[in-house]
Chains A and B, each alone.
Chain A
Amino acid sequence: MKKLKLISRLTIALSALLLISAYFIPLWQIVMWAPQYPEGLEMKIWIDNITGDVKIISALNHYIGMRHIEVSMFPEFGYMIYIVAFVIGFGILTSIVNRRYMLAAYTALLLACGTAALVDFYLWGYDYGHNLDPTAAIIVPGMAYQPPVIGTKQLLNFTAYSGPDLGGWFFIIAGILAIATLIFEVFTSRKKI
């Protein structure tokens, strides 16, 4: 059972602690600009909520048959707080237990969570953008309004941008820290052999 270096234990603890920010700051953001909205309309995705100009975005989207965005649309908001808590706990435990297999497991868990979140977001976006009210006032043949998972996309008169918010960046840093620590551990132990 390989033990970890002190510096590795600290970076893993730091990686786990960074995730606590998810309870206080938004994780993801979607910003939309149109000729009539030069200041942009914002939507912030939190661990258990969605805030910003949601009502305005919903009011505009109803013309093209998109549903009203409601917190209740996202069962994720019910359990995400527990998943993130589990990941934080696992990270702290890794630092305490001080075993490389734990580090590997933590890194895998973190990457799996991130991937799952993006896949989940894509699936929601696909449904939200494709599953349109057939009685909508404006129907553009062949047009779907799936928001970009990450990056920028033109949707009729709107330019939509999707990307991490501050909390999301902390998640990314946490992931990079975990991967870097794992690589560091693997390389430094090989040299010793």
Chain B
Amino acid sequence: MKNKVLLGTAVILAAFSIYGCKPQAPQSAAIGDAASRVYVPPGQYDEFYNIVSGGFNGQLSIYGIPSGRLIKILPVFSVFPENGYGYSEETKPMLNTSHGFVPWDDLHHVAISTTKGEHDGRWVFANGNNTPRVARVSLKSFRTEEILEIPNSGGNHSSPFITENTEYVIAGTRFSVPMGGKDVAISSYKENFKGSISFIKVDSVSGHMNIAFQLRTPGFNFDLSRAGKGPSHGWFFFSCYNTEQAYTLLEVNASQKDKDFIMAVNWKKAEEYLAQGKGKVEKVKYAHNVYSEKTHSATSTIRNEVTVLDISELPEIVYFIPCPKSPHGTDVDPTGEYIVGSGKLAATMPVFSFTKIQNAIANKEFEGDFDGIPVIKYEAALHGEVQKPGLGPLHTEFDGKGNAYTSMFVSSEIVKWNVKTLEILDRVPTYYSIGHLSVPGGPTKTPHGKYVIAYNKITKDRYLPTGPELTQSAQLYDISGDKMRLLLDFPTTGEPHYAEAIPASMIQANSLKFFKIEENEHPFAAKGEGQARVERKGKEVHVYMTAIRSHLTPDNIEGVNVGDDVFFHVTNLEQDWDVPHGFAIKGANNAEILIMPGETQTFLWKPLSTGVFPFYCTDFCSALHQEMSGYIRISAAGVKTPLKFSTGKIEGEQPTGAGN
């Protein structure tokens, strides 16, 4: 009996001890003084602007670091009904392409402009991955100023990385395709499909972009790229996958080879060939869209030519360096000497030496060629390998102290290692499945350091659930000490891919407050209530409208018919910070427009039925915002109601002098 009791107790104890052996979930909470490190008191500013790609929302979002507060969503490649981007007549041309109006794109990467390899705080470039495009956004107005479509490209992923002085922005094709829209069998990939890398020249004053030349390359996929800097300035490094040249079931067929390539491009050499007239001009079709802050309008121009340099005919531009298993990130350290290849399926992470690459080229240490392009011997280019870094290395950023931080998608962690010694120093988990990561100033010659921010692909249980579609997220880690420390989780809009952070001090003081009304050159601007009017030109009715607290002029309009195209050109007469006005009209098949002080924006309305339609200001502007409204009368087609417009005029009475 006694033994039975003992035995029973032992069994229960054993059962508990087995349960106790079950591994615990990883410690996932921030510790210590994390709260005070990320707390920015009310009324105070964050230390950094974090400019984050929005992935499939086609936008950029701006966060403050260290608080993680979302400050702004900035539309780039996608329409934005919130402020009328892509809906107003002025902004529609921004989204024009050779395929017509494309209202959406997939924005993956950003690059803040640099001078001498350091942030200069002027512009941020962004890529459109789906319909190949590159955008330039002003960091003064926080608006998209220019979008350039990329011809001969099958998807612009390897972009918009920049050279040291923003001489060039890069656009490398993700998918190789037959050039010139050729109608060929997909199975003729090896024969007909080609890659294309565009070097987009950036005007150092205006920022305007134009494609200086394209490199025609063998057909495989280009993933990511980075420019050399310092000693390696003049070179550009691209990761390539699918050197198997598969055209179906890539997850298997493009993962066969032990090594793919990092492609090293000597762009100074390419410039020489270009100057010698070795480029071939090809007929293509692509759109170039520029927004003017003077006319407050975008113009879209279709361009028809591009100059191509064929690397199979022009030696010494390109060299291939073998890199283990489908490299994703290729990142150049702040000194410009080391190039990190992240083979996303590889067990080790190679670090190449620029000096060794140069020596290998000089001594012709090649293991063979690919379509006539020399392939440098792996060992000849290699500085060393980071052993057992983690699973699924994707991207690497750098601090200013000789350390690298690599994101590990599969093992869901950030790994810190020393660039020279290749020794792993620390690792922290991310929640979950980190993609890109960002150290402030990480891609520059002088990183600002202090934090690393993880941009995660999966959030799962980290936030309150919101049905099947969950938020995306970022995580902030302190890297000022030897060990990385989790400080903060913050949700993000869209899907964050690459992001950059820049000290607020480099942007804040230059931020535009409003547009000067006297500099407004919009052809339909009414730069004072005296200029407000309605003009009919056949079926087009142009309303030159002004908005100032708290009335629209004119606010009574008659003499418009069903079937007319009514253009409301609304000029915001305010000359003070943070006083936008909005405009919307009942039943319009359109979004609202928001008009910044001093700006003119145009809202197109096609009335479909008779009646009197109210319109109003949509941005709460003043104590009398609710009164900021008006009526437009729509008569049946063919009815000759006299054209009339006014504000403050009461029939049969003297005008009261609106608003003064």
CB 8 Å contact bits of B605-633 with A (1 = contact, 0 = none): 00000000000000000111001000000
> Complex: how many Å from CA A53 to CA B574?
12
- List chain A residues, Cβ under 8 A from B623: 63, 137-138
Within 8 A of B (CB), among A138-191: 138
The answer to whether B656 touches A59 (Cβ under 8 A) is no
Question: Whole-angstrom distance from the CB of A136 to the nearest CB of chain B?
Answer: 10
CB 8 Å contact bits of B48-78 with A (1 = contact, 0 = none): 0000000000000000000000000000000
The yes or no answer to A135 lying at the interface (CB within 8 A) is: yes
The answer to whether B576 touches A62 (Cβ under 8 A) is no
> Complex: how many Å from CA A155 to CA B550?
21
The answer to whether A56 touches B660 (Cβ under 8 A) is no
- List chain A residues, Cβ under 8 A from B656: 135
CB 8 Å contact bits of B565-599 with A (1 = contact, 0 = none): 00000000011100000000000000000000000
The answer to whether A59 touches B624 (Cβ under 8 A) is no
> Complex: how many Å from CA A135 to CA B653?
15
The answer to whether B624 touches A56 (Cβ under 8 A) is no
> Complex: how many Å from CA A138 to CA B627?
13
The answer to whether A56 touches B575 (Cβ under 8 A) is yes
Known: A59-B549, A59-B576. A68 touches B660 (CB 8 A): yes
- List chain A residues, Cβ under 8 A from B574: 59
> Complex: how many Å from CA A133 to CA B549?
17
The answer to whether B659 touches A62 (Cβ under 8 A) is yes
- List chain A residues, Cβ under 8 A from B576: 53, 56, 59
The answer to whether B624 touches A63 (Cβ under 8 A) is yes
The yes or no answer to A130 lying at the interface (CB within 8 A) is: no
- List chain A residues, Cβ under 8 A from B575: 55-56
The yes or no answer to B318 lying at the interface (CB within 8 A) is: no
CB 8 Å contact bits of A35-72 with B (1 = contact, 0 = none): 00000000000000000010110010011000110000
Question: Whole-angstrom distance from the CB of A54 to the nearest CB of chain B?
Answer: 11
- List chain A residues, Cβ under 8 A from B624: 63, 137
The dominant DSSP class at the A interface is loop
> Complex: how many Å from CA A55 to CA B575?
8
> Complex: how many Å from CA A152 to CA B7?
89
> Complex: how many Å from CA A150 to CA B328?
69
Q: Which chain B residue has the least Cβ–Cβ distance from A39?
A: B577
> In the complex, which of the residues A59, A63, A68, A135 contacts B548, with contact meaning CB atoms closer than 8 Å?
A59
Q: How large is the interface on A (under 10, 10 to 19, 20 to 34, 35 or more residues)?
A: 10 to 19
Q: How large is the interface on B (under 10, 10 to 19, 20 to 34, 35 or more residues)?
A: 10 to 19
> Complex: how many Å from CA A59 to CA B659?
9
Question: Whole-angstrom distance from the CB of B660 to the nearest CB of chain A?
Answer: 6
Q: Which chain B residue has the least Cβ–Cβ distance from A138?
A: B623
> Complex: how many Å from CA A138 to CA B623?
10
Which of A55, A59, A137 has most B Cβ within 10 Å?
A59
Within 8 A of B (CB), among A90-135: 133, 135
- List chain A residues, Cβ under 8 A from B549: 59
Question: Whole-angstrom distance from the CB of B594 to the nearest CB of chain A?
Answer: 19
Q: Which chain A residue has the least Cβ–Cβ distance from B660?
A: A62
> Complex: how many Å from CA A135 to CA B660?
10
> Complex: how many Å from CA A55 to CA B598?
14
> Complex: how many Å from CA A55 to CA B576?
9
> Complex: how many Å from CA A61 to CA B623?
12
Which of B548, B574, B576, B624 has most A Cβ within 10 Å?
B576
> Complex: how many Å from CA A133 to CA B660?
8
> Complex: how many Å from CA A56 to CA B656?
22
- List chain B residues, Cβ under 8 A from A133: 660
- List chain B residues, Cβ under 8 A from A56: 575-576
> Complex: how many Å from CA A68 to CA B660?
7
> Complex: how many Å from CA A63 to CA B548?
12
- List chain B residues, Cβ under 8 A from A59: 548-549, 574, 576
Which of B575, B623, B659, B660 has most A Cβ within 10 Å?
B660
Within 8 A of A (CB), among B384-411: none
Q: Which chain B residue has the least Cβ–Cβ distance from A67?
A: B660
- List chain A residues, Cβ under 8 A from B550: 137
> Complex: how many Å from CA A138 to CA B549?
14
> Complex: how many Å from CA A128 to CA B624?
23
- List chain B residues, Cβ under 8 A from A68: 660
- List chain A residues, Cβ under 8 A from B548: 59
Q: Which chain A residue has the least Cβ–Cβ distance from B43?
A: A38
Question: Whole-angstrom distance from the CB of A94 to the nearest CB of chain B?
Answer: 47
Q: Which chain B residue has the least Cβ–Cβ distance from A66?
A: B660
Which of A67, A68, A137 has most B Cβ within 10 Å?
A137
> Complex: how many Å from CA A166 to CA B574?
30
- List chain B residues, Cβ under 8 A from A138: 623
Q: Which chain A residue has the least Cβ–Cβ distance from B622?
A: A63
- List chain B residues, Cβ under 8 A from A135: 656
> Complex: how many Å from CA A63 to CA B574?
15
Within 8 A of A (CB), among B529-565: 548-550
> Complex: how many Å from CA A56 to CA B576?
7
Q: Which chain A residue has the least Cβ–Cβ distance from B578?
A: A36
Q: Which chain B residue has the least Cβ–Cβ distance from A55?
A: B575
- List chain A residues, Cβ under 8 A from B627: 137
Question: Whole-angstrom distance from the CB of B457 to the nearest CB of chain A?
Answer: 41
> Complex: how many Å from CA A179 to CA B508?
50
Q: Which chain B residue has the least Cβ–Cβ distance from A37?
A: B576
Question: Whole-angstrom distance from the CB of A52 to the nearest CB of chain B?
Answer: 13
Question: Whole-angstrom distance from the CB of B40 to the nearest CB of chain A?
Answer: 17
Q: Which chain B residue has the least Cβ–Cβ distance from A68?
A: B660
CB 8 Å contact bits of B622-660 with A (1 = contact, 0 = none): 111001000000000000000000000000000010011
> Complex: how many Å from CA A68 to CA B529?
15
Question: Whole-angstrom distance from the CB of A137 to the nearest CB of chain B?
Answer: 6
- List chain B residues, Cβ under 8 A from A62: 659-660
Q: Which chain A residue has the least Cβ–Cβ distance from B627?
A: A137
Q: Which chain B residue has the least Cβ–Cβ distance from A65?
A: B660
> Complex: how many Å from CA A175 to CA B116?
58
Question: Whole-angstrom distance from the CB of A10 to the nearest CB of chain B?
Answer: 46
Within 8 A of A (CB), among B379-436: none
Question: Whole-angstrom distance from the CB of A55 to the nearest CB of chain B?
Answer: 6
> Complex: how many Å from CA A55 to CA B549?
12
User: Contacts A55-B575, A135-B656 given; 9 further ones with Cβ under 8 A?
Assistant: A59-B574, A62-B659, A62-B660, A63-B623, A67-B660, A133-B660, A137-B550, A137-B627, A138-B623
Give 14 pairs: A residue, B residue, CB < 8 Å, sorted on A.
A55-B575, A56-B575, A56-B576, A59-B548, A59-B549, A62-B660, A63-B622, A63-B623, A63-B624, A67-B660, A133-B660, A135-B656, A137-B624, A137-B627
> Top 5 nearest A-B pairs by Cβ distance?
A56-B576, A137-B624, A62-B660, A135-B656, A55-B575
Chain A residues packing against B (C-beta within 8 Å): 53, 55-56, 59, 62-63, 67-68, 133, 135, 137-138
